[in-house]
C-alpha cells in the first residue's frame, strides 16, 4: 500500500473516474465465436516477459486492448508501433462508450472491421471524447488485425499458453488493493464482485515459491512497479486473482502484412495523399518552408 495519485479519491470516485471496463454492455453484432483455441498445444516456458522481448510500448491511459494489438504487431513485423487510443475513444461507438468504458473484444472487433488503426503520433490522446476524425479512421490504417479469440475462461494453463505467444488483454475487478498498490504480488482471490477494469498480461514466472503474472496497467509509471503489477497465479478461486481468468482475449494477426495507407503532408498534415501517391511540395518559401502541398502518383 502506498500514497499515490489516487490517495485522495474515495472508492466511488476511483470507480467512476479511473476504471474503464464496462461489462454491462451486451454484444449485439460481432464475428462468430472462434471454433478453437489456437494455442491449445503450445509449450509453456518457465518464464516469459514480453517487455524484455521488446513487444510492449510505454504505459498508456486506459483502453488496454491497444497494447495487445501493439504486441502481436511487433511479434509479426518486429516493429514496435504505438497505436491510437484516442481513435478508439472517438470512433468505436457501435458498442463501446468512449471514456465511459467498454470491452476489449469490442475494440478488437472495431479495429478488424475498420481495416486497421492509426498511430498515437498521428491521432494523439486527449483524455476526453472528441468527434471522430473520419479521414484518419478511413485512410490511416497503419496496423491491422485478422480478428480476435477468447482464451478458455477460468483456465490458468490456457492463459499461460496464450501469454507464451503474445500479450493478452484481461478484465479484472479492481478495488482498494490496486488503488493503493505500490509493489509485490497481489494475492486476493475475490477483490470485488464486478469486473471493472482492463489490463494486459505481458508475462509470467511459472516456477519458484510464488508463481505470478506480470501485468501492464494504464495508470502511469508513478503507480505500482513503474506502471506494472504482479498477480498471484495460484489464487484460491477458479476465476484467478481479482477475476483475471474470467474474460481473457487476444487479437489475431496471421501475417506481417499491414495495409497500404495514405500519407499526411507537412507539419500540420492538412493535405492527405492516397496510397500509391506521395507528398509533393508545389510552392515553397525560398526552398525553406513548403507553403502548398500536392500529391504525386508513384
Query: Hey, where are the domains in the chain?
Result: 16-26+45-251, 263-297
Round to whole Å and give the CA distance between 280 and 183: 52
- 229-240 per-position pLDDT tens digit: 999 999 888 999
pLDDT for position 113: 93
**Which residues in 75-196 belong to E strands, given as ranges?**
148-150, 168-172, 185-186
pLDDT for position 10: 57
Whether pLDDT at 30 is above 60: no
% residues pLDDT > 70 (the chain): 84
Whether pLDDT at 98 is above 90: no
pLDDT for position 104: 87
Whether pLDDT at 63 is above 80: no
b vs e for 203-223, b when ≥16 Cβ sit within 10 Å of the residue's Cβ?
bbbbeeeebbbbbbbbbeeeb
pLDDT for position 196: 83
- 11-27 per-position pLDDT tens digit: 666 565 556 565 554 44
Report residue 224's pLDDT band, with 50, 70 and 90 as the boundaries.
Answer: very high
Angle at which helices 65-77 and 104-114 cross, to 10°: 50
Question: What residues does 280 pair with on adjacent strands?
Answer: 294
Question: Which fold, 16-26+45-251?
Answer: Cathepsin B; Chain A (3.90.70)
Q: β-strand 228-232 against 249-251: which pairing, if any?
A: unpaired
Contact by Cβ (8 Å): 248, 201:
yes
pLDDT for position 288: 87
Whether pLDDT at 28 is above 50: no
Report residue 31's pLDDT band, with 50, 70 and 90 as the boundaries.
Answer: very low
Please list, in sequence order, all residues whose beta carbon lies within 8 angstroms of the beta carbon of residue 24, skipping any fewer than 6 positions away: none
**Chain-centre distance of CA 159, in angstroms?**
17
- 191-219 per-position pLDDT tens digit: 777 788 899 999 999 988 899 999 999 88
Amino acid at each position: 500500500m502506498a500514497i499515490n495519485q489516487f490517495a485522495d479519491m474515495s472508492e466511488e470516485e476511483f470507480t467512476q473516474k479511473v476504471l474503464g471496463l464496462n461489462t454491462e454492455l451486451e454484444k449485439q453484432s460481432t464475428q462468430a465465436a472462434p471454433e478453437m483455441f489456437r494455442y491449445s498445444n503450445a509449450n509453456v516456458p518457465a518464464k516469459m516477459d514480453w517487455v524484455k522481448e521488446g513487444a510492449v510500448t510505454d504505459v498508456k491511459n486506459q483502453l488496454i486492448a491497444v497494447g495487445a494489438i501493439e504486441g502481436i504487431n511487433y511479434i509479426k513485423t518486429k516493429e514496435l508501433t504505438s497505436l491510437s487510443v484516442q481513435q478508439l475513444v472517438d470512433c468505436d461507438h457501435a458498442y463501446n462508450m468512449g471514456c465511459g468504458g467498454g470491452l476489449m473484444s469490442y475494440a478488437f472487433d472495431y479495429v478488424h472491421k475498420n481495416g486497421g488503426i492509426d498511430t498515437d503520433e498521428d491521432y494523439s490522446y486527449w483524455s476526453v471524447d472528441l468527434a471522430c476524425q473520419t479521414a484518419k479512421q478511413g485512410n490511416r490504417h497503419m496496423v491491422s488485425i485478422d480478428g480476435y479469440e477468447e482464451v478458455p475462461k477460468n483456465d490458468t494453463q490456457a492463459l499461460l499458453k496464450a501469454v507464451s505467444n503474445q500479450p493478452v488483454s484481461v478484465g479484472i475487478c479492481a478495488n482498494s488493493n490496486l488503488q493503493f498498490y505500490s509493489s509485490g504480488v497481489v494475492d486476493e482471490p475475490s477483490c470485488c464482485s464486478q469486473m471493472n477494469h482492463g489490463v494486459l498480461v505481458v508475462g509470467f514466472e511459472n516456477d519458484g515459491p510464488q508463481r505470478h503474472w506480470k501485468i501492464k496497467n494504464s495508470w502511469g509509471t508513478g503507480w505500482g512497479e513503474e506502471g506494472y503489477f504482479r498477480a498471484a497465479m495460484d489464487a484460491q478461486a477458479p476465476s484467478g486473482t481479482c477475476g483475471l481468468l474470467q474474460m481473457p482475449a487476444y487479437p489475431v494477426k496471421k501475417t506481417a502484412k499491414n495495409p497500404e495507407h495514405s500519407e499526411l503532408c507537412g507539419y500540420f498534415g492538412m493535405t492527405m495523399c492516397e496510397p500509391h501517391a506521395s507528398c509533393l511540395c508545389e510552392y515553397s518559401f525560398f526552398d525553406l518552408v513548403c507553403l502548398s502541398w500536392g500529391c504525386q502518383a508513384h
